[in-house]
Structures are given as C-alpha cells and as structure tokens.
Amino acid sequence: MAATTGKSPVSSSFVQKLNPRTSYCYQDSYSTINLPRRLRRIHSQACNNISSSSDQVPDSVHKQAKAIELQKLIDDDSRDSSISLPRPLTSASLSNLATEGSRLRVAYQGVRGAYSESAAEKAYPNCEAVPCEQFDTAFEAVERWLVDRAVLPIENSLGGSIHRNYDLLLRHRLHIVGEVKLAIRHCLLANPDANLEELKRVLSHPQALAQCENTLTKLGLVREAVDDTAGAAKFIAFHKLKDAGAVASETAARIYGLNILARDIQDDSDNITRFLMLAREPIIPGIDKPFKTSIVFSLEEGPGELFKALAVFAMRNINLTK
C-alpha cells in the first residue's frame, strides 16, 4: 500500500482499478450514454403522439405543443437522474461537509461511548452517529443507503493496522473521502459500588487490552477480550459486576454511570488511531490542497518485483507514508 503525503491531507481510495480519472470518466459516460438513450425514446414517443392528431390542429400549434412537451420531458428526466445517480464528491464540496454534518447519518462500529463514535462526531460535527455491531455492517449500511457515511478505524500508532477493514475495503465498493485522527485515552472503569482491590478481571477490546498491558499486569487483572471498549463498559454496568472492570473512554463512563478508577492507563501516551471516512461517491481530486492516495495492487512472484513497483514512485519524487 502506498500513499502520497501532504499537510492536512484528504484521502481518496483506489481499490483494484479505481482511480480519479476512471471514476470521473465513469460518471461522465453514465451521464452521456445512458440518459440520452432514454431521452431519444421519450422524444420519439412524444412526437408520435402529437403527429397522430395532425389533421385536427394547425401546424403552428403542433410545433408549440411538441416544444413544450419535449422540454417537460427533459426537465422531468433531469430531476429523476439527479435523484437516482450518486454524484462524485469534488474537493470543493469537502469543505462544506463539516457545516452540513447535521444532515448526515454516519455509521460506526460499536455501541454508544465507543471511540469510533467520537471519531465520527469529530469527522462530521452534529451528525447523527449510527452504531453498528460489526465493521461489515457499517460498510453494508452505506452501500444500502441506510446511512450517508461511515467512519471506521484503519490503524493505531501502537497496535498497528486493522487488517479486517483493509479486507473490507477490497470487498465493498466504497471510497475513502477523508481521514480523522483521534487521541485514545483509556480509563479503568468499574461500577460505583466496586473498588480497585475487589477487581479480578478486566474486559475490553483486544487492542485496548494490549495498549494497557503494563498497567493491567501491575494490577494483576485477568484480561478478557470483547468486541469493543464501550461494549465492555455497557456489559459490566448492565450486569452490575463488582469483580470486573472495563478499559474504555471517559465518555463511556459517563453514559453507563461507571466510576473512573484510573485515567490514561495506556502504556504509551502517544496513542493515536487513524479513522477513514467512507462514502458511496468518490472524490475528484483538486489542486487546492494536498491529497493522500491509497493504492491496492498485487505482484507476480519473482526477485525484485516489489522493488520495481516502489521504484515507480521514487522516480517521480512521490513520498510514501506506509
């Protein structure tokens, strides 16, 4: 995977053979090939209907009626096409997304209080964040028009890549339209009537547990993996567990009425997760700001094949970030 860099980059995805040029040409050909075919058919029908009554009205009336009917059909078709066809996002439209966040439904993986929910709200302020049980569900929700966008994690500065979402990017026809980075600050949570000495185990997402390994080892807590951090907080709150805690966010503690026994328990304070903003429509990159490009490709087996592929970027002075 290769990427160009720039200050405050905006991402655009290229999965398999997709790129800005083919995405743009696809949209252009869709507009100029499919729509006129329908218009030609409609035009013919309109003219035939008017011609059939030629012996009843003057010729000037025929022409005027045809012109009015034809314009009405074109206008109707334009309205239909604007509703049914997704338009590619332009770089100019991205600057308006933050202010239009209140109109967007944004999917994220997890339950309320998840870090992904905070990332979605950071990416699209005032949006309606929609929780999904699994990453797959979030992808499908966007594809089925149940939501407008999805914000999903792709890599963490300590835990590395989230390979599942790389695989899903190849399986689904969504496009990366931006990215947002979120500082992860883990807290040790417990029910109000529980104290640190009573805790024997701690629940959280596997990456969160790994990121707090030193602290949890010192406390002598048994680690139990669950689907997400906020889900762990919700579980111990719902079951009123006294011997179990959760590694989750301060927001999750507030939502589920839990006490914060310890803050910032991650082993490394520089704990950042990068989230991708996904949409059905691709971006047409502009020249007004630097763009980051993600590329997926495969190579034949053989000595130096990867070197040859990467040399293409080096020869053109294109920097790679990962």
- What 8-state DSSP symbol labels residue 258? -
Residue type, 10: V
Q: CB under 8 Å, gap of 24 or more: what pairs does 307-316 form? A: 310/2, 313/2
Q: Tokens in use for 168?
A: 């899903």
Q: Is 135 designated active site? A: no
Give how far Cα 178 sits from Cα of 2, 9, 152, Å: 16, 8, 11
**Active-site option among 215, 275, 291, 293:** 275
Q: Is 275 designated active site? A: yes
Residue type, 206: P
Pairwise CA distance, residues 129 & 100, whole Å: 14
Picking from 275, 294, 14, the residue whose alpha carbon sits closest to that of residue 154 is 275
Q: Tokens in use for 247?
A: 């590694």
**Active-site option among 273, 291, 307, 313:** 273
Pairwise CA distance, residues 189 & 203, whole Å: 10
| Residue listed under structure tokens 């006129």 | 36
Tell me the pairing of strands 201-204 and 222-225. Answer: parallel
Pairwise CA distance, residues 216 & 223, whole Å: 8
Pairwise CA distance, residues 184 & 173, whole Å: 29
Q: Tokens in use for 245?
A: 């805690």
Q: Catalytic residue positions?
A: 273, 275
